[in-house]
């Protein structure tokens, strides 16, 4: 029996969310594409969004170049989010599908995870959710927005069995 007939949720998932991923980081031991899909879907499904997202895992040199070229900051960062219609002249897509790209640098993520006493998997899950929420329009520019976004991230990660990613900051 086909997976979609056996699991109707799987069919709905495929209709509402497409993930295109590429690993150019060369970093060993990263979570599988299916795991990234699960984390991103967790962020999307809470408000019923339909999405087509590109996930690009970059090495530090490439991540640094993107951060420098698009944010004016000359260092490799953990995650960059690029919504298709963010800052563009083009209007949002008429079909209501969220389109964007997540660029993640596993080398930076691994360093941060070690510094914060987290596993690589925990930190990858957090950054996948965090970056996806940015694509959806969430931000943390001011304190009120930051509190709302952090609370949502914490709730979404807890639903998947992950600890509060901000627990150390709150202690």
Instruction: Kindly report, residue by residue over 11-48, the tens digit of the pLDDT.
Output: 666 678 899 999 999 999 999 999 999 999 999 987 77
pLDDT one-digit tens code per residue, 58-116:
999 999 999 999 999 999 999 999 998 665 444 455 577 889 999 999 999 999 999 99
pTM for the structure as a whole: 0.88
Is 134 marked as a binding-site residue? yes
The rounded mean pLDDT for the chain is 88
Query: What is the rounded average pLDDT of the residues 146-163?
Result: 96
* Residue 116: count of CB within 10 angstroms of its CB: 14
Is 140 marked as a binding-site residue? yes
3 state DSSP class of 114: helix
Contact call for residues 139 and 149 (beta carbons, < 8 A): yes
Phi-psi label, residue 8: left if phi above 0, alpha if psi -120 to 50, beta otherwise: alpha
């Amino acid at each position: 029996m086909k997976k979609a007939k056996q699991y109707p949720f799987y069919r709905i998932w495929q209709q509402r969310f497409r993930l295109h991923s590429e690993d150019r980081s060369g970093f060993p031991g990263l979570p599988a594409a299916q795991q990234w899909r699960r984390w991103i879907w967790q962020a999307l499904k809470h408000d019923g969004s339909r999405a087509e997202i590109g996930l690009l895992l970059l090495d530090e040199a490439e991540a640094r170049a993107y951060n420098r070229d698009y944010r004016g900051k000359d260092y490799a960062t953990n995650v960059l989010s690029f919504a298709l219609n963010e800052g563009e002249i083009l209007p949002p897509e008429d079909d209501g599908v969220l389109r964007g790209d997540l660029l993640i640098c596993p080398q930076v993520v691994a360093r941060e995870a070690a510094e914060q006493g987290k596993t690589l998997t925990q930190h990858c899950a957090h950054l996948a959710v965090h970056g996806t929420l940015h694509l959806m329009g969430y931000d943390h520019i001011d304190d009120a927005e930051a509190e709302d976004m952090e609370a949502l991230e914490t709730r979404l990660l807890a639903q998947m069995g992950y600890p509060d990613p901000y627990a150390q900051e709150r202690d």
